[in-house]
């Protein structure tokens, strides 16, 4: 199964390493693809938008004509996971005039709300369907509100930190900075063991071709 990571900037190698570890730990048949072009985007069954600098990732998505292509693929059914900056990009609303949201999940985001880099912290969360998880927060955004169709999977200080709407998964923290692959394994289950087939009129990815 081909899993894409937007490969311009941010925690790209960390996500790639934890996906590679799942080949041994969970016996997953995973091929990691660094997505930097429309061609590479079209080849994957699921996509991770990593943490990093949301303004930089947004600018490069636009520069390489991937912004609208990502939105179209996800709306056609491809699962996507956005972590930290990735969540800012997939959200409905963020306050930055330098980052246009992909509007893939009904959530209002406030950037860097947990403080500066030096104020990073680790918090043990209770995540629905996963259990206790030591979450790493680094210049993390806050999810101020979510729509009625969005499932809140975990909270910290009363605010959502992990949310899902159908094929879209968003996290304010960095699961790739731990050795715990359970959230990535959960994302693999969203994709399915053989990949996904879009229910839209145009099939973007056919599982039998993996």
Annotation says 174 is catalytic: yes
CA distance 104 to 195: 20
CA distance 51 to 154: 18
Catalytic residue among 39, 84, 119, 123: 84
Catalytic residue among 15, 174, 184, 203: 174
Catalytic residue among 14, 15, 176, 184: 176
Query: Cα 208 vs. chain centroid, distance in angstroms?
Result: 24
Catalytic residues: 84, 174, 176
């Amino acid at each position: 199964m081909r899993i894409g990571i937007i490969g311009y900037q941010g925690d790209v190698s960390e996500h790639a390493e934890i996906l590679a570890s799942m080949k041994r730990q969970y016996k997953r048949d995973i091929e990691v693809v660094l997505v930097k072009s429309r061609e590479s985007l079209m080849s994957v069954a699921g996509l991770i938008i990593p943490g990093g600098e949301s303004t930089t990732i947004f600018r490069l998505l636009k520069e390489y004509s991937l912004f609208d292509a990502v939105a179209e693929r996800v709306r056609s059914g491809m699962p996507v996971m956005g972590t930290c900056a990735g969540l800012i990009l997939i959200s409905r609303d963020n306050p930055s005039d330098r980052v246009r949201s992909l509007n893939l999940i009904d959530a209002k985001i406030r950037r860097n709300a947990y403080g500066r880099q030096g104020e990073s912290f680790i918090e043990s969360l209770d995540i629905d369907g996963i259990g206790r998880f030591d979450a790493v927060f680094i210049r993390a955004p806050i999810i101020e509100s979510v729509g009625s169709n969005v499932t809140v999977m975990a909270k910290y200080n009363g605010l959502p930190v992990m949310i899902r709407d159908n094929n879209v998964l968003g996290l304010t923290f960095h699961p790739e900075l731990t050795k715990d692959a359970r959230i990535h394994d959960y994302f693999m289950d969203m994709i399915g063991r053989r990949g996904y087939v879009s229910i839209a009129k145009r099939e973007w990815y056919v599982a039998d071709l993996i």
